[in-house]
Structure 1
Amino acid sequence: MERAENAESILVVDGDVIARTVISEYLRHCGFRVIEAGTGEEALQVIRHPKFAIDVVLADVELPGDLSGFGLAQRIRKSELEVKMLLASAGEGVANTAGDLCEEGPHLVKPYDQMLILDHIKRLRAR
């Protein structure tokens, strides 16, 4: 898959297939190249694959499997890849903690507010 010129790639990581599909389709409609993963392990495989150039990862903090969204964020940070990270959670307290751990912030609460996510992605792109 070749990357379209000026099209940012967003990796949406969420174990809830309905939530993941809805936000992914919205982001595609907004002109982003969107790749989906259901677990943190799948997300790492996508990020490490040479044919994908991921710019932003939007991940739920509570993922199925052994790697949570928090763990995924830590591994991305340690990898020194230039990937920006957004974490979301169904619980506001957990979302606030996610915002504290991601240097790019913010704390996003599920269910996803599509316009809010788009706004945060635009802010990340502007940095």
Structure 2
Amino acid sequence: MSTSSTHLSAKAGPSPQTVLVVEDEVLIRLVIAEYLRECGYRVHEAVNADEAILILRAPEVSVDIVFSDVEMPGDMDGFGLARWVRANMPQTQVILTSGAERSADIAGTLCEAGPLLEKPYPTQDVVDRIRQLAAKANRS
């Protein structure tokens, strides 16, 4: 995963979206979460799907986008989390990422952002996907 020296130009705008970063690899989660915060997003972090669902169910939390790894410890992987989000929080968008060979077709049916974001990815690509979702939502 690479960071970009131009990240400060990627500000989210006056009404930042809230992103839930679900990633069991600590370094990756911290880098992505910090980058998104620097870009103006509100960020929550979870290490697996169970923790993510607890955050998503919290009445004081409103999440616009779930950015989740596919491969995670626990009973539910990222695809399962995406299915849960679509069934229980249809207004919340999902972006999936993976370093493993997985079917892009599965991700495409679960994510408005399209196919998997493959690891390693530049951190700016995460912001680009979030912006794509925001633009798509504004057109609807």
Q: Determine if the TM-score, normalized by the shorter chain, exceeds 0.5.
A: yes
Q: Are 1:44 and 2:53 counterparts?
A: yes
Q: What's 2:40 paired with?
A: 31
Q: List gaps (5 residues or longer) in structure 1.
A: none
Matches within 5 A, 1:1-127: 6-91=15-100, 93-94=101-102, 96-104=104-112, 105-127=114-136
> Percent of counterpart pairs with the same letter?
39
* Larger Rg computed on CA atoms: 2
Structure 2: how far apart are the matches of 1:115 and 1:36?
Answer: 18
Cα-Cα RMSD = 1.5
1:110 Cα offset (Å): 1.3
Contact kept, 8 Å, 1:19 with 1:112, in 2: the verdict is: no
Contact kept, 8 Å, 1:13 with 1:39, in 2: the verdict is: yes
Please, what TM-score do these two structures have when normalized by structure 1? 0.89
Q: List gaps (5 residues or longer) in structure 2.
A: 1-13
Contact kept, 8 Å, 1:8 with 1:32, in 2: the verdict is: yes
1:95 Cα offset (Å): 6.1
1:6 Cα offset (Å): 1.3
DSSP 3-state at the match of 1:94: coil
